[in-house]
Amino acid sequence: MFHSIARARRTAAVAIGVALASAGLALAVAGAPKVEVSILAEREVVRTDASGRSSVVREPVTIANPGDVIVYTLTAKNTGDAPALDPRIEDPLPSGTLLLLDSVETGGAAVGASLDGGKTWQPFPARVERRRDDGTTERVPAPAGAYTILRWTFPDPLGPGESKDVRFKVRIR
């Protein structure tokens, strides 16, 4: 069975939160930020050269098979004419995939995670409560399959023409 990345990836669900340059200024006076997000999906492929050495390369992907690792690079770019304050990227994990927890790159941003489709958020890596045999509970790392959305919030404004990249990997189930 294969998965179509185009179908699994809902680009409309990528959200950018941008605060205006100053709450009291009229937009006509101050310009306006316009943050656009592009998504690059690449499949990791192992190639073996003539001497038998293996290396991992990335190639564009539109179809993926179970077990394939897909690398998502999200680029937020301010194409407006004013700084975007508190820019953020929210990206739902494609259904039928498993987040590779050690692959989440911050790009200098604070990373948050939702385990319930965006209803609640916590810092990445997320934690869940688990009941012990004695009836008490403890907080443990959330399993990779529990993640539904990742959010990157950048600490600095994104100036006109500036861009920031973040990256993560998933494995097709």
CA gap 45, 55 in Å, rounded: 8
Sketch the domain layout of the chain as residue ranges.
Answer: 3-111+156-172
**What is the predicted pLDDT for the residue at 30?**
60
Q: What is the mean pLDDT of residues 35-46?
A: 94
pLDDT band at 63 (very low <50, low <70, confident <90, very high): confident
Q: What is the mean pLDDT of residues 50-68?
A: 91
Is residue 16 scored above 60 in pLDDT? no
- Tell which residue, 76, 97, 104, 90, has the closest CA to residue 151: 90
Q: If you average pLDDT over every residue of the chain, what do you get? A: 85
Q: Looking at per-residue confidence, does 10 or 48 come out higher? A: 48
Query: What's the sign of the alpha-carbon dihedral 101, 102, 105, 110?
Result: positive
Output phi, psi for 12, to 5 deg: -65, -20
Q: Model confidence over 119-145: pLDDT tens digits?
A: 999 999 999 999 999 999 999 999 999
CA gap 36, 89 in Å, rounded: 10
CA gap 157, 26 in Å, rounded: 19
Query: What's the sign of the alpha-carbon dihedral 74, 75, 81, 84?
Result: positive
**What is the predicted pLDDT for the residue at 141?**
96
Is residue 150 scored above 90 in pLDDT? yes
Is residue 155 scored above 90 in pLDDT? yes
